[in-house]
Amino acid sequence: MRLKPGQWSGHLQGKLASVYGLFSDEPLLLQEAEEALCQVAAEQGFAQRQRLNHSSAPWDALRDERDAGSLFAEQRLLLLRLDSIKLPKEGVSALQYWLASPPPDALLVFSGPRPDASVQKTQWFKALESHGQTLLLYRPEGADWIRWIEQRLKLQKMSADDEAIQLLADLSAGNLGACHQAILRLQQIYPGQAVDVAAIRNVLADSSQFNIYDLADATLRAEPTQILRIIDRLRSGDGEPALCLWALHKDLRILAELRAAHVDVDQVFRQNRVFPPRQNWFRAAARRLPGHSLLAGIRECLEIDARIKGQDPTPVWPALTDLCLRIAGSA
């Protein structure tokens, strides 16, 4: 059976199923759904937690766990997280083998990226929905994105005015993980309080002499020496790579808009709330950077985002440095 996102909390208040499929392209939503399920499972006696994907042969491990169920005195929770939702033949076979007769002392949580329509029509996915519970979580868009931020603040017993919420929405540009980190930092500094634009800008600033806005400004002004200095301070302090990426990605999007044919530059600045002196810096950067370099920078943002989310083990800060230098025209 497929659960709707709004049914998830209520479902966890009852008896759990023996098999779950949790799917989302947003790591934060997937992690939170999984952690909520694990917490309830522990309360219902599934105290032992084991990740099968840590095995060199997870599908063999899944088969072994089904056959070895009677050897365990303790109920166990088995987690199998996939990088790709397109299962190999051995994966389909192992999952079907499990679903044919799930052991009573085990709870299987199968998770991964959100499946497209073709995957949802496959025999293995239909079997998963038939024998267990599935949950598909989507990234909030448009007005839902604003409501998501409001709900996140409320969960932290906080509130914000419309302008502050819009600032968080603009800066994050749909990056749920970075927005979540920012809200947690707000809660640490302003617990239980109402926050405004000034508070948000204060939280996004690093405790050292520099903050993410200084980095974005130095990048637009094409100051490589200053960029390296700021990156070094942010990296050695408590600078958040995700928040740095917010600011850089937003500026790249604005630069791409400015280079579009027949664009109304003043309108772009108004829509994106760009004020002097940044307007002049944007104009200079738009003249300086060719279109292919901007597109390459936006692609780099996606790659860096994957690293921040743990999908790529490559170090983040060197990649952020390279991105800044690209925008500055020095790479």
Residue 259 to residues 65, 191, 330: CA-CA distances in angstroms? 57, 42, 19
Using CA atoms, how far apart are residues 306 and 56, in angstroms rounded to an integer? Answer: 23
Tens digit of each residue's pLDDT (9 = 90 or more) over 122-173: 999 999 999 999 999 998 887 888 999 999 999 999 999 999 998 888 766 6
Phi, psi for 184 (deg, rounded to 5): -65, -40
Is 208 a residue whose pLDDT tops 50?
no
Is 70 a residue whose pLDDT tops 60?
no
Residue 313: its pLDDT value, please?
82
Q: Specify the pTM.
A: 0.63
| DSSP track, 168-229 | HHHHHTT-HHHHHHHHHHHHHHSTT-EE-HHHHHHHHS-SSS--HHHHHHHHHTT-HHHHHH
Confidence of residue 17 (pLDDT cuts 50, 70, 90): very high
Residue 42: its pLDDT value, please?
92
Using CA atoms, how far apart are residues 261 and 247, in angstroms rounded to an integer? Answer: 24
Pairing relation of β-strands 133-137 and 48-51? unpaired
What's the mean pLDDT when you consider all of the chain?
Answer: 87
Give the number of C-alpha atoms closer than 13 A to the C-alpha of residue 290, restricted to the C-beta side.
5
Domains, the chain, in order of start with CATH, read 2-137 (3.40.50.300), 140-204 (1.10.8.60), 208-331 (1.20.272.10)
